Amino acid sequence: MVVGGQRGWDMGGEGEEESTVILKPPKKASILSRMIVLMFAMVCGVYVCVVCLKQIGTQSKINIEDIQLLKGPTSDPDPVQLKFPGDHYPSPKTFNRSECEHNPVRYFAILSMQRSGSGWFETLLNSHVNVSSNGEIFSVLDRRGNSSSIQEVLDKVYNLDWFTSASKNECSAAVGFKWMLNQGVMAHHKDVVDYFNRRNVSVIFLFRRNLLRRMVSVLANSYDRYAKLLNGTHKSHVHSDDEAKTLSKYKPTINSTLLVDDLKKVEMMAARAVEYFNSTRHMVLYYEDLVKNRTKLQDVQQFLRLPKMELTSRQVKIHKGPLSEFVENWEDVNTTLNGTEYESFLQSDY
């Protein structure tokens, strides 16, 4: 087939010659070759899709877990968590429960941080005739040295063989203690969670919303350990306005450079604690809510399945009024927190 022509002159110029280019039709590719190429393309496409979906799924999972970890504790307990798993009938080795041996006992632990109102809260609980909360028992280092020593102490407490001024022995309806997060519970959280779930121990988280006020209280209390402002005696808690006024005269200086990071660390510790103990039966309380709304104490009694009573405490708040009156370098602190997520701490009363 002639598809094109070209007229030209030979080198001698003696005559005209017509040249033609003939193209042959291409050979048809075999059906088998085409099928192989098609199958290869399909396999590659499926592989790429699977890899992409796996990467997307993994990334989504990581993001969700990160959000759950960073999310702070909520104040409203899950209704499912309020379902009480059962009662206990301990048999103490050190005394006979006599006529109360058939009375059920509930186990609890208050997980909190220093200067978050846990001492005041515990005195409220102990004002109930059927509650024995035995204080900060893991403040002693030997008791929290390892998981075995921790379990040994827990067994004594929940078997009613741990004696303190709060012990009501025979007819206790609820027995527990308070445990600071920096006293081994976070380091051994897996074993503690296993123990709590195995023995049906209910957890009461008590935190403070205003972490700046907590910081002021921590610094002032640390200072008084050495200064002993009350007639040469250190007191973490007081029972009169005069004592509170004396202790509040000291104004700590806050490191404004590290302030935001320090507040965030405390916030994250509380979030991690709730995350670690999420599988336990628990409720979350805030000091400020207890102060402003005493019906929260009824929620606690309901949580522990106690007969409801009016709970009281003789403890007096030390730092009353605006925080600006209790911080030496208030202007630096105010400048540092203004415009941050912690700005509200500057104005809060509690």
Rounded to an integer, what distance in angstroms lies between the CA atom of residue 314 and that of residue 312?
Answer: 7
Exposed/middle/buried for 105, CB within 10 Å: 0-12, 13-18, 19+?
A: buried
pLDDT at 218: 97
For the chain, count helices (H), then strands (E): 10, 8
Rounded to an integer, what distance in angstroms lies between the CA atom of residue 350 and that of residue 347?
Answer: 9
CB 133 within 8 A of CB 125: yes
What residues contact 56, with CB distance under 8 A and at least 6 apart? none
The DSSP bridge partners found for residue 206 are 112, 285
Report the half-sphere exposure of 101 (CA within 13 A, side-chain side).
8
Report the half-sphere exposure of 244 (CA within 13 A, side-chain side).
13
pLDDT at 165: 73
The stretches in the chain having pLDDT less than 70 are 1-30, 32-34, 37, 43, 45-86, 168-170
The DSSP bridge partners found for residue 284 are 205
Q: What angle do CA 193, 118, 203 make, to 5 degrees?
A: 25
- The amino acid at residue 299 is D
Neighbours of 100 (CB within 10 A): 16
Q: Which helix (H) or strand (E) holds 233?
A: none
Q: Where are the strands (E) in the chain, listed by range? A: 2-9, 16-22, 106-112, 131-133, 174-176, 178-180, 201-207, 282-286
